[in-house]
């Protein structure tokens, strides 16, 4: 996020990372820098980040972020002068609409769908049944053959293939023609070997690089002109980050081909939401990329650069699935199934699973799904167990996690965090642990719960922790 690289000699530019700055803040004067540029500026409202930003007094403070509007509603813009201040806040949809990125030509592979299966879904299949019946996974050799056919059409093809895990990479790579594919992953692979393989992919004869959980962010391979999704993800953010690996526009690339073999209704929803967000993005003509184009051509489609996202649903019955999603019947099935799963677990064990164990203990449930449906694990429990929620077996779990975080934070920073900071940090796999209603259950406060906690209860907790120190 932040950048500081310590050198003995004086330099014009200084780069580094936030953690280094935070732990060495006393090595700097408040006016050490005339200009400070904060990347990933949406993290600034967090207490530790904010303390660094507010320590320095530069002549100009600039923030860069594609996601300035946080889900916890904390104001990022205020740190950089408000809406008219010095912050870059253009997201993926804005950049696509204004022609600063390559357009994705998205192809979704799925199985032909009958009306009988659609009718069955409407009656309430589980998510697993839906995906199993609607989307038949292609055999590995067929998927690779489809990629090879597309690669042959692309001059100097450079394809990133997103796999499930390391074992999946090692299994798939044998289906690619010898000498055409390499790989990169974290963990058991050394940093030197990763850098070597990535460099040879970019500069050498490799057409494909297979990866898992590595290319989500922090890497730029503008040569990429083909993306292949052979893995599912519970996080829409990760999917967008991976999609972004191929959207860097170059003189040789105005669009990127995307092959999606994942096959799930969740992915269909993600793609539809992506199309909708792009279509609703308004154009600011001052920022429209007019490079190599006459003004008269701006509103006309070209062979490679269209005014809309290209998505090809490569299976019969796709229109019926999309209509089903529009009616939100699938969301209703997911919500009820999620509630039933937690109720069944509680009836059997007389307790709720820890947030870290949800995906292990509850069938077909993911943190990202619960976040979408209930906003937090706390909200999920209230919805599923309205009559049992006040039992000690449930509420004590949230209290213990809540106070555990406060104590650890206090030990490190000598201060009790605000409620928003607690909510922001108590997150597991994109699922927040609590919401503001937790304050009522824990402290019996009805009016202005967050404000009351921050102004009154924080001080009480602070005094108790200091007296017990």
- Which contacts qualify for 316-323: CB closer than 8 Å, 24 or more apart? 316/112, 316/113, 317/112, 317/113, 317/114, 317/115, 317/117, 317/118, 318/108, 318/110, 318/113, 320/113, 320/115, 320/118, 321/113, 321/118, 321/134, 321/265, 321/268, 322/268, 322/272
High-pLDDT (> 90) share of the chain, %? 19
Dihedral of CA atoms 215, 221, 223, 226 in degrees, nearest 10, equals: 10
Query: CA 424, CA 392: separation in Å to the nearest integer?
Result: 25
Dihedral of CA atoms 224, 230, 236, 240 in degrees, nearest 10, equals: 0
Task: Please say whether the beta carbons of 210 and 161 come within 8 A.
Answer: yes
Task: Please say whether the beta carbons of 45 and 68 come within 8 A.
Answer: no
The residue to which tokens 């105005």 are assigned: 254
Nearest to 370 by CA among 361, 362, 380: 380
Q: Answer yes or no: is pLDDT of 63 > 90.
A: no
Q: CA–CA distance from 145 to each of 108, 138, 370 (Å)?
A: 16, 11, 37
Q: Answer yes or no: is pLDDT of 132 > 50.
A: yes
Query: CA 372, CA 273: separation in Å to the nearest integer?
Result: 13
Q: Answer yes or no: is pLDDT of 198 > 90.
A: yes
Model pLDDT for residues 328-387, shown as the tens digit of each residue: 555 655 776 788 788 888 877 888 999 999 988 887 788 888 887 788 999 888 878 765
The residue to which tokens 């972004």 are assigned: 244
Model pLDDT for residues 405-464, shown as the tens digit of each residue: 999 999 998 899 999 899 989 999 889 999 888 888 888 887 788 889 998 999 999 888
Residue 385: which residues within 8 A CB-CB, separation 6 or more? Answer: 342, 343, 346, 352, 394
End-to-end CA distance of the chain: 34
The residue to which tokens 């279509």 are assigned: 279
Query: CA 121, CA 329: separation in Å to the nearest integer?
Result: 9
Q: What is the mean pLDDT of residues 49-68?
A: 83
List the chain domain ranges.
18-89, 94-326, 331-468
Token reading at 337: 């199934």
Nearest to 156 by CA among 182, 180, 184, 174: 180
Q: Answer yes or no: is pLDDT of 272 > 70.
A: yes
Which of these ranges, 49-58, 216-225, 313-322, 404-413, has the smallest mean pLDDT? 313-322
Other beta carbons within 10 Å of 27: 11
pLDDT of res. 137? 59
Type and span of the H or E element at 28: none
Fold of 94-326: Rossmann fold (3.40.50)
């Amino acid at each position: 996020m932040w950048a500081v690289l310590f050198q003995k000699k004086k330099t014009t530019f200084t780069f580094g990372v936030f953690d280094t700055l935070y732990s060495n803040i006393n090595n700097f004067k408040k006016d050490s820098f005339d200009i400070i540029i904060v990347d990933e500026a949406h993290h600034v409202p967090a207490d530790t980040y904010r303390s660094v930003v507010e320590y320095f007094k530069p002549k100009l403070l600039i923030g860069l972020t594609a996601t300035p509007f946080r889900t916890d509603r904390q104001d990022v813009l205020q740190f950089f002068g408000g809406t008219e201040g010095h912050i870059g806040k253009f997201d993926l949809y804005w950049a696509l609409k204004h022609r600063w990125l390559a357009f994705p030509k998205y192809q979704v592979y799925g199985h032909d769908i009958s009306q009988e299966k659609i009718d069955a879904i409407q009656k309430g299949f589980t998510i697993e049944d839906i995906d199993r019946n609607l989307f038949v996974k292609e055999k590995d050799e067929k998927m690779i053959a489809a990629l090879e056919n597309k690669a042959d059409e692309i001059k100097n093809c450079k394809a990133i293939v997103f796999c499930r895990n390391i074992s999946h990479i090692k299994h798939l790579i044998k289906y690619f023609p010898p000498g055409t594919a390499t790989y990169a992953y974290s963990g058991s692979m050394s940093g030197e070997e990763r850098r070597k393989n990535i460099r040879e992919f970019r500069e050498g004869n490799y057409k494909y690089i297979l990866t898992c959980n590595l290319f989500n962010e922090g890497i730029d391979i503008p040569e990429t002109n083909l993306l292949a999704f052979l893995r599912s993800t519970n996080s829409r953010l990760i999917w967008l980050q991976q999609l972004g690996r191929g959207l860097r526009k170059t003189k040789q690339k105005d669009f990127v081909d995307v092959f999606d073999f994942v096959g799930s209704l969740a992915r269909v929803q993600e793609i539809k939401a992506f199309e909708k967000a792009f279509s609703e993005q308004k154009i600011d003509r001052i920022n429209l990329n007019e490079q190599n184009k006459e003004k008269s051509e701006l509103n006309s489609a070209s062979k490679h650069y269209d005014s809309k996202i290209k998505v090809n649903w490569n299976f019969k019955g796709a229109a019926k699935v999309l209509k089903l999603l529009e009616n939100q019947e699938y969301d209703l099935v997911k919500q009820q199934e999620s509630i039933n799963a937690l109720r069944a677990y509680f009836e059997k064990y007389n307790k709720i699973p820890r947030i870290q164990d949800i995906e292990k203990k509850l069938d077909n449930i993911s943190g990202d799904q619960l976040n979408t449906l209930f906003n937090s694990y706390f909200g999920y429990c209230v919805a599923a167990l309205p009559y049992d929620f006040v039992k000690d077996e449930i509420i004590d779990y949230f209290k213990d996690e809540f106070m555990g975080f406060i104590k650890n934070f206090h030990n490190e920073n000598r201060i009790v965090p605000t409620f928003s900071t607690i909510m922001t940090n108590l997150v597991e796999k994109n699922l927040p642990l609590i919401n503001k209603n937790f304050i009522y259950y824990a402290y019996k406060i009805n009016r202005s719960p967050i404000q009351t906690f921050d102004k009154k209860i924080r001080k009480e907790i602070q005094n108790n922790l200091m007296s017990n120190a």
